[in-house]
Structure 1
Amino acid sequence: MVVTASGVFRRTAIERADQRVSWERTDRAFFSSGACHVLAWVCRDFYPEQGIGLAALYLGDFEHPLHVYARWSAWAFDASGWNLESELLQVNSEFEGLPVREVETISSDLREFCEKHVHRQPHQYWADPTERARAYVARYDPPWL
């Protein structure tokens, strides 16, 4: 699958206001914008032997990250599947028209990250997206196979 900027799937006003409407989007849209952080943590936990890290992408002057993804070597995993991290950064920067300010390695747990960056924890969604994320990760062959 070709890497696509997360902003392509940005939630509409009704999707932001109604968690069920947001939940009913396609998996790719849901995990691109609104639950990318949940997908990243699930990906890391899905392959515990691989040493997968987590990264937060900051563009321009935004206080909070635009996108969160899992990373392994030169690869990144998000709703577009496994792609080169450099391509993921480039398409997001180009789509938003903003330079990459920082790619932060995330060392906190999911709860701490959500509290710091005003993201929903899994139990705060219309339904817990953890199993949905596991099924999504399982669809994509990792680059080490």
Structure 2
Amino acid sequence: MTAEAAGVFRRTAIERSDQRIAWERTDQAFFAAGACHILAWVCRDSYPERAIEIAGVREAGGWQVFHVYAVWDGWAFDHSGWNPEPHLLAANTAFEGRPLERVTIVDGLAAFCETHHSRMPDQYWRDPLPRARDYVSRYTPPWT
């Protein structure tokens, strides 16, 4: 799969207001917009032997991260699977039509969610962790 911009799957107003409707989107849409941070942390936790980082994309000079992904040795994992990180950044920049920047996220999941107004796993309509683990398992990591 080729890197695809997260914004392609941006939630509608009803998907933002109704967790059940948001939950019922396809896995790719769910993990592109609304649960990308959950997917990134699950990816990192799925490979404890690897030094996987968490990164985010935001408007250049901004503070609000709008997409989160896992990074290992130049490879990024998000709703599009594993892709070279520059491809993921280029896809998002082209889609958004404005300068974006990558940021390394050093906070834990709870602190990230608090700072960036994102949901913790227990705040979804159902537990997203098993769904994220299944999604991660569908993609062959670049080190194999």
TM-score relative to the length of structure 1:
0.96
Q: Distance in 2 between matches of 1:13 and 1:137?
A: 28
**Match of 2:95?**
95
Shift of the alpha carbon at 1:63?
Answer: 3.1
Residue 61 of structure 1, CA deviation? 5.2
Question: Where does 1:14-93 land on structure 2 (aligned, <5 Å)?
Answer: 14-60=14-60, 62-93=62-93
RMSD (Å), alpha carbons: 0.9
- Aligned equivalents of 1:70, 1:23: Cα separation in 2: 22
Aligned match of 1:118: 117
What is the DSSP-based 3-state SS (H/G/I as helix, E as strand, rest coil) of the residue aligned with 1:49? coil
In 2, distance between residues paired with 1:52 and 1:60?
A: 24
Please give the secondary structure, in 1, of the residue aligned with 2:44: helix
Deviation string 1:78-124 (CA, Å, 9 cap, x unpaired) is 00000000000000000000112x31111111001000110001000
- Show structure 2 runs of 5+ residues with no match: none
Aligned AA (1:125): Y
Q: What is the CA deviation profile of residues 118-141 of structure 1, one whole-angstrom value per residue up to 9, with x for unaligned ones?
A: 000100010110110000000000
1:140 matched residue in structure 2: 139
Distance 1:108 1:63 in 2: 14
C-alpha separation in 1, matches of 2:60 and 2:137: 33
* Separation in structure 1 between the aligned mates of residue 5 and residue 59 of structure 2, nearest angstrom: 12
What is the CA–CA distance in structure 1 between the aligned matches of 2:121 and 2:127, rounded to whole Å?
5
Q: How many residues align?
A: 144
Contact 1:7–1:33 (CA under 8 A) maintained in structure 2: yes
Q: Secondary structure at the match of 2:65?
A: coil
